[in-house]
Amino acid sequence: MINAGIVGASGYTGGELMRLLLNHPNVNIEAATSRRLAGEAVSDTHKHLRGFIDLKFEDLDPEEIKERCDVVFVAVPHGTAMNIVPELIDNDVKVIDLSADYRLKTDIFEQVYGMEHADPRDAVFGLVELHPEIKDQSFIANPGCYPTGATLSAAPLADAGLLNMAIFDSKSGITGAGINPTPASHYPNMAENVQAYKLTTHRHRAEIFQELNRLDANLTNVSFTPHVVPSIRGILTTAHLFVNDDLSVEDVRGIYSEFYKNKPFVRVLDDIPSLGAVRGSNFCDIGFEVDANNGRIVVISAIDNLVKGASGQAIQNMNVMCGLDETTGIWTPATSP
């Protein structure tokens, strides 16, 4: 059995990690940390886990976590993970950081996040579909939620060297903003409303750019605009992908199907993806149309931000790092459309 620990287990991704890990045949949830809720039952906060988990939150120091755990998921805000991760890194422990702290090269991180990095070190970007080298790693930077959907929507065309310009427009459910309420997440501001934000400056643009540019070094024109919609979970991305060549529907389908062959969590569809069809699951659904007159392919991707965008993807990474089939414990359908 793999003994797993979750740092920051009182938050949304921590709760989702536990929901999913409870179904994992090779994992025992050994520790769930919280500073605020130490001593309280996990299921008093994560009420969806009632009857399934008999664990109390603990306020553990890294040494105690390392002694008890084989794998540690770090699910705390960016800017704080970098003070926790270094003390967890150890030959006998695998660490998966869900925050943004290790996803970008350090100099880019410092520019984008406007802070000095307390622990400059390289990490492999944990998008399993693009990074086969994950299997030999003991430390992984789990991707951002928006970058997961956006990058997967465009990667096959970038890899084929066909992409000239990419414009991503994404709509996220409100759990993407974490468990602490803000004016933006206040119900009257959120319900029956759609809000665009950080139109040209969102920090996830750098992550999307990094990953697509790694596939095609000539690709420089990448834009991203996020929106928050009155949904609890999910990220729907509309990718406007401008290509150099005339591509038919069959060409595009061939490129995507070939690229995602043997990638069980990416489903290339004949129709248009929707959030309802991936909710609660680790799938990324992709559909497209060719706008031949404008040299544009419109690709839609749909993920659940808490699953493929965070906790499910973290478990997918753990599976690969531990030599398990990547689908172990997370091969479940969505809740319903």
Ligand X SMILES: NC(=O)C1=CN([C@@H]2O[C@H](COP(=O)(O)OP(=O)(O)OC[C@H]3O[C@@H](n4cnc5c(N)ncnc54)[C@H](OP(=O)(O)O)[C@@H]3O)[C@@H](O)[C@H]2O)C=CC1
Phi, then psi, of 282 in degrees rounded to 5:
-95, 15
Stretches 51-59, 171-179, 246-254, 291-299: which one binds ligand X2W (CB under 6 A)? 171-179
46, containing H or E segment: none
Q: What angle do CA 157, 159, 164 make, to 5 degrees?
A: 50
Q: By CB under 6 A, tell whether 319 contacts ligand X2W.
A: no
Whether 69 is a known active-site residue: answer no
- Residue 10 touches which of ligand X, ligand X2W, none (CB < 5 to 8 A by kind)? ligand X
Give the list of residues 6+ apart from residue 120 with CB closer than 8 angstroms, or none: 106
Instruction: Give the C-alpha separation, 38 to 290, whole Å.
Output: 53
**What is residue 101's three-state secondary structure?**
coil
- Residue 36 touches which of ligand X2W, ligand X, none (CB < 5 to 8 A by kind)? ligand X
Q: x/- string (CB under 6 A) for ligand X, residues 115-154?
A: -----------------------------xx---------
Task: Figure out which of the listed residues 37, 95, 278, 307 binds ligand X, where binding follows CB under 6 A.
Answer: 37
What is the smallest separation between the CB atom of 217 and ligand X2W, expressed in angstroms? 24
**C-alpha closest to that of 24 among 40, 4, 54:** 4
The encoded tokens of residue 203 equal 């920090």
What is the smallest separation between the CB atom of 143 and ligand X2W, expressed in angstroms? 7
Q: By CB under 6 A, tell whether 11 contacts ligand X2W.
A: no
Task: Figure out which of the listed residues 172, 231, 319, 328 binds ligand X2W, where binding follows CB under 6 A.
Answer: 172
The encoded tokens of residue 298 equal 């419109």
**What is residue 315's three-state secondary structure?**
helix
Instruction: Give the C-alpha separation, 294 to 297, whole Å.
Output: 9
Residue 90: DSSP 8-state: B
Q: x/- string (CB under 6 A) for ligand X, residues 43-82?
A: --------------------------------xxxx-x--
What is the smallest separation between the CB atom of 197 and ligand X, expressed in angstroms? 15
What is the smallest separation between the CB atom of 182 and ligand X2W, expressed in angstroms? 8
- C-beta atoms surrounding 258 within 10 Å: 12
Instruction: Give the C-alpha separation, 287 to 126, whole Å.
Output: 23
Stretches 128-136, 157-165, 220-228, 303-311: which one binds ligand X (CB under 6 A)? 303-311
Give the list of residues 6+ apart from residue 13 with CB closer than 8 angstroms, or none: 75, 98, 306, 310, 311, 314
What residue ranges bind ligand X (CB under 6 A)?
Answer: 8, 10-14, 34-37, 75-78, 80, 98-99, 144-145, 175-176, 178-180, 305-306, 309-310
Name the residues annotated as catalytic: 145
Query: Which residues are at the interface with ligand X2W (CB under 6 A)?
Result: 78, 99-100, 144-145, 172, 176-177, 226, 228
